[in-house]
């Protein structure tokens, strides 16, 4: 994602610095003919990038456990931020990054949830739900597949080009294994949340947006993780072995809202989102949109420029990165904003905690606290390794 994002950013401005704790990746980006073009400065420490006054925008495409620390420090350095999803590692980080953005209202913060810019499928489904074509929606199923299983993996000496100590960041100190690093980080709770936060960041986001439940103070009141399996034994919500993938591979976590709505976040069935209402249903994924309104050619509210502009917060519909850079020029709220994303990540992290504990947990969406379960509430935050604390704003 870093390579792809950087190429797209380069269409709108000069990439004058690249950074990666893997020096091979860093040098590849420096010399890439559509990124650094051999002219960008290359760093292994992101703080050298933030120190530069000639840099206006930073793009953060790291493993999840690094997102918020770099993002907060970027805001403190006066930078606009593009950050890949999922933005946060914990519920506590949700509050922290929201506070940081509220403290820097003149800086644009944009999330890489590209489904928000899919006009013909996801935006059309959102418009149909919001226009009332399905009537009252009583259940949404977000099908996100399950995490892979694997291991045990053998520890190795870290390759010379990777600063493994820095890669681990706030996470616990562990021996290097290739299956922990780069893309494979997603299947370890130490660095991510498996499919709960990987695809959940996309599909739960669309579900909450469609139902207009993406505002602060909204959210589930109960999350049931009793139907979830893990590839390794868990004790008190934590894996008991450290050489195997540990995120859930088989689950159906049910979030219940105070109006009776159920949101199922599940690994079962075809990847996509199913909206079920009084008048019909819609299924949408990255390949298609189907359902009674589509099959019978229902009028979906004259879906066009006016509806798209409303969904785009008053901006014209255009590509994902185009919207980011338009907001840099004009101001305003981007289509993929931090505040709605925090609501999505609340659901994703609550689902992960409930699944890891294998039981129901109670959530107060107003105070944003887990109640009546000290063990679950303790999992809202993680203690970082010394030296990798996230600044408070």
Q: How far is residue 6 CA from its own chain's centroid?
A: 18
Residues 70, 153 within the same domain: no
Q: Which domain holds residue 129?
A: 116-312+338-378
Query: Is the residue at 368 inside a domain?
Result: yes
Query: Is the residue at 161 inside a domain?
Result: yes
Query: Is the residue at 263 inside a domain?
Result: yes
- Between CA 218 and CA 203 the distance in angstroms is 17
DSSP sequence for 303-346: -SHHHHHHHTTTSPP--HHHHHHHHHHH-S--SSBHHHHHHHHH
Residues 109, 149 within the same domain: no
> In Å, how far are 60, 248, 323 from 1, measured between CA atoms?
10, 23, 18
Residues 109, 121 within the same domain: no
Residues 108, 174 within the same domain: no
Query: Is the residue at 268 inside a domain?
Result: yes
* DSSP H helices in the chain: 2-9, 23-31, 46-50, 64-76, 91-102, 124-130, 164-168, 200-210, 292-295, 305-311, 320-330, 338-357, 374-378
Residues 133, 193 within the same domain: yes
Mean pLDDT score, 284-290? 97
Residues 192, 300 within the same domain: yes
> In Å, how far are 4, 41, 258 from 29, measured between CA atoms?
10, 10, 48
Query: Is the residue at 333 inside a domain?
Result: no
Q: Please name which of 41, 29, 40 lies closest in space to residue 4, comparing C-alpha atoms.
A: 29
Q: Supply the CATH number for residue 224's domain.
A: 3.30.360.10
pLDDT tens digits, one per residue of 77-136: 999 999 999 999 999 999 999 999 999 999 999 999 999 999 999 999 999 999 999 999
Query: At 301, is the pLDDT very low, low, confident or very high (cuts 50, 70, 90)?
Result: low
Chosen domain end from 66, 89, 113: 113
Chosen domain end from 78, 96, 113: 113
- Between CA 35 and CA 6 the distance in angstroms is 6
Mean pLDDT score, 49-74? 98
Residues 352, 304 within the same domain: yes
Mean pLDDT score, 252-265? 98
- Between CA 339 and CA 322 the distance in angstroms is 20
Residues 270, 149 within the same domain: yes
Mean pLDDT score, 259-264? 98
Chosen domain end from 69, 92, 113: 113
pLDDT, position 294: 86
Mean pLDDT score, 331-348? 98
pLDDT for residue 302 is more than 80: no
pLDDT for residue 300 is more than 90: no
How high does pLDDT run on average in the chain?
97
Mean pLDDT score, 253-278? 98
pLDDT tens digits, one per residue of 18-56: 999 999 999 999 999 999 999 999 999 999 999 999 999
Residues 75, 141 within the same domain: no
Contact 81, 97 (CB under 8 A): no
Residues 244, 304 within the same domain: yes
Tokens of 260: 């009776």
Query: Is the residue at 326 inside a domain?
Result: no
Q: Please name which of 107, 80, 131, 105 lies closest in space to residue 310, comparing C-alpha atoms.
A: 131
**Where is average pLDDT lowest: 141-145, 233-237, 289-293?**
289-293
What's the pTM?
0.97
Q: Please name which of 290, 297, 256 lies closest in space to residue 273, comparing C-alpha atoms.
A: 290
Mean pLDDT score, 279-289? 97
Query: Is the residue at 254 inside a domain?
Result: yes
Residues 221, 105 within the same domain: no
pLDDT, position 296: 84
- Number of domains composing the chain: 2
Strands 17-19, 41-43: pairing kind: parallel
Residues 109, 120 within the same domain: no
Q: Supply the CATH number for residue 39's domain.
A: 3.40.50.720
pLDDT, position 192: 98
Query: Is the residue at 329 inside a domain?
Result: no
Contact 119, 309 (CB under 8 A): no
């Amino acid at each position: 994602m870093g390579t792809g994002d950087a190429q797209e950013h380069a269409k709108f401005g000069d990439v004058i610095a690249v950074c990666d704790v893997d020096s091979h990746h860093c040098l590849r980006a420096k010399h890439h003919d559509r990124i650094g073009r051999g002219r960008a400065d290359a760093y292994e420490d992101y703080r050298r990038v933030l120190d530069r006054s000639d840099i206006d925008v930073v793009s953060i495409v790291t493993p999840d456990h690094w997102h918020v620390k770099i993002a907060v420090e970027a805001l403190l350095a006066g930078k606009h931020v593009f950050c890949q999803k999922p933005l946060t590692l914990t519920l506590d980080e949700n509050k922290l990054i929201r506070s940081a953005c509220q403290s820097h209202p003149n800086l644009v913060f944009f999330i890489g949830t590209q489904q928000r810019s899919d006009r013909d499928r996801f935006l059309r489904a959102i418009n149909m739900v919001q226009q009332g074509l399905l009537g009252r929606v009583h259940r949404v199923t977000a099908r996100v597949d399950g995490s892979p299983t694997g291991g045990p993996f053998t520890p190795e000496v870290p390759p010379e080009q990777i600063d493994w100590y820095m890669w681990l960041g706030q996470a616990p100190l562990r021996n290097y294994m290739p299956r922990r690093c780069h893309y494979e980080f997603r299947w370890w709770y130490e660095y991510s949340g498996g499919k709960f936060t990987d695809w959940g960041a996309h599909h739960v986001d669309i579900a909450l947006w469609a139902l207009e439940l993406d505002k602060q103070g909204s959210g589930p009141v109960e999350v049931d993780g009793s139907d979830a399996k893990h590839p390794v034994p868990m004790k008190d919500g934590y894996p008991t072995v450290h050489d195997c993938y540990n995120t859930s591979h088989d689950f159906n976590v049910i979030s219940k809202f105070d109006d009776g709505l159920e949101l199922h976040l599940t690994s079962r069935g075809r990847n996509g989102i199913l909206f079920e209402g009084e008048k019909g249903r819609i299924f949408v994924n990255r390949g298609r949109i189907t359902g009674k309104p589509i099959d019978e050619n229902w009028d979906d509210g004259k879906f066009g420029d006016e509806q798209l502009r409303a969904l785009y917060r008053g901006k014209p519909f255009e590509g994902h990165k185009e919207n980011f850079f338009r907001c840099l020029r004009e101001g305003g709220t981007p289509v993929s904003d931090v505040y709605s994303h925090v609501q999505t990540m609340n659901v994703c992290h609550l689902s992960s905690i409930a699944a890891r504990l294998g039981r129901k947990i109670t959530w107060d969406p107003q105070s944003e606290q887990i109640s009546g379960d000290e063990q679950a509430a303790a999992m809202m935050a993680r203690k970082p390794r010394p030296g990798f604390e996230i600044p408070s704003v």
